[in-house]
Amino acid sequence: MTAKATNGLPRADHAMAPLLRAALESTAEGVLVVDTNGTVLTSNRRFAELFGARPEDVRTGTPSSELAFIVDAVRDPAAYWAGLRDIRDRPQDEGLDTFELKDGRVLERYSRPLVIEARSAGRCWSYRDITERKRAEERLRESEVRFRLIAENVGDLVAMLDPQGRRLYNSPSYGTLFSPDDIQLGSDSFREIHPDDRERVKRIFEQTVSTGVGQRTEFRFLLKDGSVRHIESEGRVICDTSGKVSKVVVVSRDITERKNAQQRESMEHGVTRVLAEAETLAEAIPRIIETICETLGWDCGARWAMDEKRKAIHCVETWNIATPAVSNFIDHMRSLAFVPGHLGLVRHVWLSGEPKWIADVSREGGFLRAEKAAKAGLHGAFAFPIRAGSVTLGVLEFFSREVRQPDAPLLQMVRVIGSQIGQFMARKQAEENLLYVATHDTLTGLPNRYLFNQRFAHAINQSQRYRRQLALLFMDLDNFKPINDTLGHTFGDQLLVEVGRRLKKCLRDSDTVARFGGDEFVALIEEFGSPADVASVAQKMLDVISRPFRIERRKCHVTASIGISLFPDDGQNLTTLLNNADTAIYKAKQQGRNSYVFHSDEINPQLLQQTGVEPGAQRSTLAQK
């Protein structure tokens, strides 16, 4: 049997007492055991030390309420004893509370009933110094408060994610881009990233979690309305006590405006460079369209110009990304012509002389190409005029597969760029006009002697290189002077214009016919098989000239004589060939006019033998009415 002490508690065996005492003293907590009346049964050294007392100050049999050192040590004795009484009134319950000592330390007080043989025998109290833990908790709380205070008062997008990328916290600034339903806590933070960027960003996040080292990157958010925002982002990890990444804080900022500004600057420099380098309008405009598309991220573009004959605006040059859908849309645009009654984007810009922006053409009432644009996946559009002074010379139009909100700085910039392109067009047109005047006959529009000489120089180089023949056909009208003198110079000029038009039509595009002055015309024939081919061309020229002309309600009949010289047999240079062809003309006129004659005396008999028709055998008389 176990012996009992007079206070009702079992008396420990003599052999077990040292072991129990050693266990009591080895704990890091202060222990105080009292009976049901609150009288001290036992305690350990740590209990007294926590209150700055000596172990002998805690004597068995002393009422715990008389432990003066406790009153002296606690900051709020009344609260201390009130907590003690509260738990004493509930003898079957456990208790846990904290209190602060005057020296600033914080103790945690835990108690549980002491039950022996199914009856309450008192209470066991344990005291623990939790000052450092409390301070750590306070620092953490203050840190969290600071984090939220900063996150909720900066324009940056601040998110806290778990290692799988799920949202744990979003700063209020996310509300400027997304609705609360889009960014609920626990949702996938990669869902709002543009599909083209999503996997790359996921890989960077996974590397951050695995290495603990954050990376800075750029990507795009795709918003619900289809628009895009450019984002710069960087992650920082938070590790638990074991060093394992438990959270990732991602700080992002919207750099769309900065990105747009960089793109606008790049576009402006690119267009300026094209205008400086291009020699012709045909070279410049396609490059400008491509430059604007590629620097600003638009998917296709076109230039529209006025067709004066049809009095309609039509598509001239285009550029697009290499996708079938967008290519089909561009093909459709090339087939369109906007008449004056049309009030679409292009016509509006043409008439107003101002740029215009459409965020989403699929939602724009009256946009006639909306269905075709939707099939191509196109949404955003803008256009601006090409102007020289107050005159609109054309319209540049662009489309994007993204919904794009108006970019006011860009619209302002394209006003200037449209004027620069307009000045370039006007200057190049003036240069082309001057060049045309310098190289073409002002009456007939045919090449003049200057341009003919240039083309002959190129042709003779090619002939020498590839050992080919050239033919020079020198033609003048028979008895043109009587027509000019009788019917007047105006009538004669109109006759020359019609002669030039007929000659141009009867020759190949690769051949050249020029007016040398008066009623003299020279044709340059390249790449023919034999002199018989040249004779065929000469006969065609005579035939078209001999048909009646109707000028000023008069019918006029006229014929021509042609002298032919061949390179290299009849001359090695233009002067010699022209002189020899001129000599052959006189032979043709001596033979009765309305005929052609080769300078070489050997060729004419050969043609007679080959064709049975002697050059110059056909005759006609001059008739005029």
Amino acid making up residue 584? A
What average pLDDT score do residues 156-181 get? 88
Query: Is 537 in contact with 480 (CB distance < 8 Å)?
Result: no
Within 13 Å of residue 465, how many CA atoms lie on the same side as its CB? Answer: 7
Q: What is the pLDDT of residue 548?
A: 93
Q: What is the pLDDT of residue 146?
A: 63
Per-residue model confidence as pLDDT tens digits over 564-575: 999 999 999 999
Judged by DSSP in three states, 235 sits in: strand
**Residue 623 confidence class, pLDDT cut points 50, 70, 90:** very low
Q: What is the pLDDT of residue 236?
A: 87
Question: What CA–CA distance (Å, rounded) separates 535 from 533?
Answer: 5
Q: What's the gap between Cα 214 and its chain centre?
A: 28
Q: What is the pLDDT of residue 243?
A: 83
Per-residue model confidence as pLDDT tens digits over 98-124: 889 999 899 998 988 988 888 888 889
Residues with active-site annotation = 519
Is the pLDDT reported for residue 14 higher than 90? no
Q: Name the residue with higher pLDDT: 615 or 523.
A: 523
Rg (CA), the chain: 51
Q: How many degrees, rounded to 5, is the angle at CA 402 between CA 401 and CA 408?
A: 120
Question: What CA–CA distance (Å, rounded) separates 391 from 421?
Answer: 12
Query: Is 166 in contact with 189 (CB distance < 8 Å)?
Result: yes
Q: What is the pLDDT of residue 502?
A: 95
Sign of the torsion angle spanned by Cα atoms 186, 192, 196, 201: negative
Q: What is the pLDDT of residue 11?
A: 54
Question: What CA–CA distance (Å, rounded) separates 407 from 227?
Answer: 12
What average pLDDT score do residues 479-501 get? 91
Q: What is the pLDDT of residue 3?
A: 47
SS3 letters across 59-126: CCCCEHHHCHHHHHHECCHHHHHHHHHHHHCCCCCCEEEEEEECCCCEEEEEEEEEEECCEEEEEEEE
Is the pLDDT reported for residue 624 higher than 90? no
Exposed / middle / buried, residue 103 (Cβ in 10 Å: 0-12, 13-18, 19+): exposed
Kindly state the percentage of the chain with pLDDT values over 70: 91
Q: What is the pLDDT of residue 447?
A: 95
Q: Which two tokens stand for residue 345?
A: 């984007």
Give the DSSP H/E element, type plus range, for residue 484: helix 480-487
Amino acid making up residue 33? V
Is the pLDDT reported for residue 251 higher than 50? yes
Is the pLDDT reported for residue 6 higher than 70? no
Is the pLDDT reported for residue 151 higher than 80? no
**Residue 320 confidence class, pLDDT cut points 50, 70, 90:** very high
Domains of the chain: 17-129 (3.30.450.20), 135-254 (3.30.450.20), 260-435 (3.30.450.40), 440-624 (3.30.70.270)
Q: Which DSSP symbol is given to 552?
A: T
Beta bridge partners of 119: 116
Q: Which two tokens stand for residue 254?
A: 């919207």
Tell me the whole-structure pTM to 2 decimals: 0.56
Write phi, then psi, for 265 (nearest 5 degrees). Answer: -65, -45
Question: What CA–CA distance (Å, rounded) separates 453 from 142?
Answer: 91
What average pLDDT score do residues 473-478 get? 94
Question: What CA–CA distance (Å, rounded) separates 541 from 559?
Answer: 10
The alpha helices in 152-245, defined as continuous H runs, are 195-211
What average pLDDT score do residues 489-497 get? 93
Is the pLDDT reported for residue 163 higher than 90? yes
The alpha helices in 321-369, defined as continuous H runs, are 324-334, 345-352
Q: What is the pLDDT of residue 619?
A: 38
Within 13 Å of residue 158, how many CA atoms lie on the same side as its CB? Answer: 14
Amino acid making up residue 233? S
What average pLDDT score do residues 324-349 get? 86
Sign of the torsion angle spanned by Cα atoms 32, 33, 37, 40: negative
Is the pLDDT reported for residue 239 higher than 70? yes
Question: What CA–CA distance (Å, rounded) separates 422 from 89?
Answer: 96
Peptide bond into 77 cis (omega under 30): no
CA distances from 15 to 20, 23, 456, 520 (A): 10, 14, 132, 145
Beta strand extents in 276-419 (DSSP E only): 300-307, 312-320, 337-338, 356-358, 380-388, 391-400
Count of other CB atoms within 10 angstroms of residue 566: 22
Q: What is the pLDDT of residue 68?
A: 83
What average pLDDT score do residues 365-373 get? 86
What average pLDDT score do residues 221-246 get? 87
Beta bridge partners of 33: 42, 124
Per-residue model confidence as pLDDT tens digits over 437-471: 899 999 999 999 999 999 999 999 999 988 899 99
Q: What is the pLDDT of residue 26?
A: 85
What average pLDDT score do residues 239-264 get? 88
Strand 40-43 relative to strand 30-34: parallel, antiparallel, unpaired? Answer: antiparallel
Q: What is the pLDDT of residue 340?
A: 61
Average pLDDT, rounded, for the chain = 86
Sign of the torsion angle spanned by Cα atoms 586, 587, 593, 596: negative
CA distances from 255 to 184, 217, 259, 475, 543 (A): 24, 12, 6, 72, 74
Q: What is the pLDDT of residue 201?
A: 95
Write phi, then psi, for 240 (nearest 5 degrees). Answer: -85, -175
Judged by DSSP in three states, 193 sits in: strand
Is the pLDDT reported for residue 203 higher than 80? yes
